[in-house]
Structure 1
Amino acid sequence: SGGFDDALFVDDQGHVSEGVTWNTGFIQGGRIVWPQAPMLAGVTQVLIDRGLAGQGLSSQTRPVHMSELAGFDGAFLCNSATPVCPITHIDQATFGNDTAVLDRLNQAWLSQRPQSIAD
């Protein structure tokens, strides 16, 4: 499959939305940038976002164009099976992914209390 592990959905104007079974976030300093696009809202994304402030991080939701990917410090995917998984490459963009920031993202997710499901 040409060395690719998965697929990232991009609209006909070049805006990123999500992966096949995951949402994606981009790291820019102490801010997480979530793509603003038609997509399925992910529970894991919401839980991570809720915990960011407690980890000294902020977030922004805005359109993300493929042409700006190389300007991000990192990228990750998130879903219920993999709360924070670094993405190393998207096309020609390569991401360094500071492990300390990824750890803070994981802590943001872990900081959310489990909710019981009523019968």
Structure 2
Amino acid sequence: MHIEIDGRPVTDTSLSTPAFLNYGHFTAMQVSDYRVRGLARHLARLDSATRELFGAGLDGGHVRRLIRHALEGAGVRDASTRVYVHWPDGDEAATVTVTVRPPAAPSGEPLSLMSVPYQRPVPHIKHLGGFAQIHYGRAAVRAGFDGALLTGPGGVVSEGAVTNIAFWDGTSVVWPDAPALTGITMALIGPGLPSARRRVTLGDLGAYRSAFVTNSQGISPVHRIDSTEFMVDEELMRRVAEVYASTPWEEIPALA
């Protein structure tokens, strides 16, 4: 993994901020040939969260330059990239950490999810401190599932541990109306599909024909939640994939 903080390769000392300061936020993206789907949304997410958490914005042009610098520093054009934002007390500006890893994509295999009694705090922000998500995700894998599904009181479905989830009722793609992060992939495909927001509970799952999850890596069908089985609707998944593929790529410009 290649890491840069404010455009400088990390040292043991410079890693102390992201290692020990757990108050911050981030965004995750897949880069292909220096291009990103929904790049403007990622930059807007970073700016909005920085304003809410720290009281000042984060310039999108600056972030684009840091991402491009890190990609070039790693010598790659394709990558899984994350941008983390901290603002240590006393500093005059935010600290921006960019990590570069090999590209990632869903396996394409249908997933199984185990429901867990947890909802993320401040869910509209992609914030740090995801202990419970990791904990429940690992517990789900140990129980024989692929991941966790976060739920609230009364079995209200919110989101996956690291995904958004959607259900298909035969007419509309239903996004749970519950506290959750509006993921970038979710935001990109939603307008291109017949969509609705609706309260979904674990007791309602049998009313839906199929389900899928979205995150920065892409889209995957879901074949089971707890003991409820779903069909994998190939036609629906084809439509969702086409909408996603039609989303324009946005370039991360070369450094001047």
TM range (shorter): 0.7 to 0.9
Residues 1:48 and 2:183 are matched in the alignment: no
Alignment-mate amino acid for residue 102 of structure 1: M
The equivalences for 1:10-21 within 5 A come to: 10-21=151-162
- Unaligned segments of structure 2, at least 5 residues: 1-141
| Bigger Cα Rg | 2
Pick one of 246, 250, 254 that aligns with 1:111. 246
Structure whose residues are more often helix by fraction: 2
Q: Report the equivalent of 2:198.
A: 62
- Unaligned segments of structure 1, at least 5 residues: 53-57
Residues 1:71 and 2:202 are matched in the alignment: no
Cα deviation for residue 116 of structure 1 reads 3.5
Could you say what secondary structure the match of 1:106 adopts?
Answer: helix
The equivalences for 1:79-94 within 5 A come to: 79-81=215-217, 83-94=218-229
Cα deviation for residue 93 of structure 1 reads 1.0
Q: Report the equivalent of 1:2.
A: 143
The ranges of structure 1 where at least 4 consecutive aligned residues each deviate by more than 4 angstroms after the TM superposition are none
Cα deviation for residue 5 of structure 1 reads 1.5
Alignment-mate amino acid for residue 77 of structure 1: V
Residues 1:24 and 2:160 are matched in the alignment: no
| Alpha-carbon separation, structure 1, partners of 2:226 and 2:188 | 28
Could you say what secondary structure the match of 1:64 adopts?
Answer: coil
Tell me the TM-score normalised to structure 2 length.
0.42
Higher relative contact order (CA 8 A, sep 6+): 1
Cα deviation for residue 50 of structure 1 reads 2.0
Tell me the TM-score normalised to structure 1 length.
0.88
Q: What is the identity percentage for the equivalent residue pairs of Structure 1 and Structure 2?
A: 36
Could you say what secondary structure the match of 1:38 adopts?
Answer: coil
Q: Aligned pair count?
A: 113
1:26–1:32 Cα contact (<8 Å) kept:
yes
